[in-house]
Chains A and B, each alone.
Chain A
Amino acid sequence: MSAPKTETIEADVLVIGGGTGGPMAAIRAKEANPALRVVLLEKANVKRSGAISMGMDGLNNAVIPGYATPEQYVKEITIANDGIVHQKALMAYANGSFDMIRYLDKLDVKFEKDGAGDYAVRKVHHMGTYVLPMPQGHHVKKVLYRQLRRLRIGVINRYMATRLLTTADGRVGGAIGVNTRTSEFLVVRAKTVILACGAAGRLGLPASGYLFGTYENAANCGDGHAMAYHAGAELANLECYQINPLIKDYNGPSCAYVTGPFGGYTANNKGQRFIECDYWSGQMMLEFWRELQGGNGPVFLNMTHLAPETVGEIETILHSNERPSRGRFHAGRGTDYRNKMVEMHISEIGFCAGHSASGVWVDELARTSIPGLYAAGDMASVPHNYMLGAFVNGAIAGEQAAAFCADIDLPDADADAIAAEQDRVLAPTRREDGLSPYEVEYKTRRLVNDYLAPPKITAKMRLAQERFAEIREDMDHLVARDPHELMRALEAQSILDCADMAAAASLFRTESRWGFYHYRVDHPDTDNANWFRHTMLYKDANGAMAHRTRPIDPYVVPVDATEMTAYQSLRIAPIAQAAE
Chain B
Amino acid sequence: MTLFDTEDEDLADRAASPDAGIRRVAMLALAESEAPDARALLIAGLADPVAEVRAAAATALEEHPGLDAARALMAALDDPDPTVRGAASGCLEARREQSAAPLLIARASHGAAFARAAALRALRELAVPEAAGVAHDALTDPDPVVRREAIGVLGWLRAEAAQPGLIRTADDPEPEVRRATMAALVFVRSGGLAVPALIAGLRDSDWRVREEAAATIGRTRLAEAEPALIEAMDDPVWQVRLKSAASLGRLGARRALPALIGALRSDVSNLRKEAAAALGEIRDPAALPALAEAAADADPEVRKTALWAAGRCRG
Chain B 30-69 interface 0/1 with A at a Cβ cutoff of 8 Å (1 = within): 0010000000000000000000000000000001000000
A275→B300 contact, CB < 8 A? yes
**Complex interface bits, B198-213 against A, C-beta within 8 A gives 1, otherwise 0:** 0000000001100000
**In the assembled complex, A305 has its CB within 8 A of some CB on chain B:** yes
- Could you say which residues of chain B place their CB within 8 Å of the CB of A275? 300-301
| CB-based nearest A residue for B127 | A117
Known A116-B156, A117-B155, A126-B304; contact A155-B3, beta-carbon cutoff 8 A: yes
Residues of A within 8 A of B299 (CB): 272-273
Instruction: Judge whether A263 and B270 touch: CB under 8 Å.
Output: yes
| B300 & A115 in contact (Cβ 8 Å cutoff) | no
Question: What 19 additional pairs, Cβ within 8 angstroms, besides A146-B63, A157-B5, A570-B307?
Answer: A9-B1, A115-B156, A115-B182, A115-B185, A117-B127, A117-B156, A154-B1, A156-B1, A263-B239, A263-B242, A265-B269, A265-B301, A273-B301, A276-B301, A305-B268, A307-B207, A573-B304, A578-B295, A579-B295
Q: A115-B155, A117-B155, A305-B268 are in contact. Are A578 and B1 (CB under 8 A)?
A: no
By size class, the interface of chain B is 35 or more
Mark contacts of B15-34 with chain A using CB atoms, 8 A cut-off: 1 yes-contact digit, 0 otherwise: 00000000000000000100
B3 engages A578 (CB within 8 Å): no
Chain B, range 69-96, C-beta contacts under 8 Å to A: 94, 96
Q: Which A residues lie at the B interface, using CB under 8 A?
A: 7, 9, 45, 108, 114-118, 126, 139, 146, 149, 152-157, 186, 263, 265, 272-277, 305, 307, 309-310, 570-571, 573, 575, 578-579
B296 touches A149 (CB 8 A): no
Q: Is the CB of B303 within 8 A of A575?
A: yes
Residues in A neighbouring B124, C-beta threshold 8 A: 117
Known: A307-B237, A310-B239. A116 touches B187 (CB 8 A): yes
Q: Measured between alpha carbons, how far is A290 from B185 in the docked complex, in Å?
A: 47
B238-265 vs A: 1/0 string, CB under 8 Å? 0100100000000000000000000000
Give the chain B neighbours of A273 by CB distance below 8 A.
Answer: 269, 299-301
Confirm or deny: B122 has a beta carbon within 8 angstroms of a beta carbon on chain A. Answer: no
* Pairs A–B under 8 Å by Cβ, sample size 26: A7-B1, A114-B186, A114-B219, A115-B216, A116-B156, A116-B186, A116-B187, A126-B304, A126-B308, A152-B3, A157-B5, A263-B242, A265-B270, A272-B299, A273-B300, A273-B301, A276-B300, A276-B301, A276-B304, A277-B304, A309-B208, A571-B304, A573-B300, A575-B298, A575-B303, A579-B296
- Give residues of chain B (142-158) contacting chain A, Cβ–Cβ below 8 Å: 152, 155-156, 158
Q: How many whole Å from B220's CB to the nearest CB in chain A?
A: 9
Residues of chain B with a CB closer than 8 A to A108's CB: 94, 96
- With A and B bound together, what is the CA distance between A274 and B302 in angstroms? 11
Q: Which of B1, B127, B156 has the most CB of A within 10 A?
A: B1
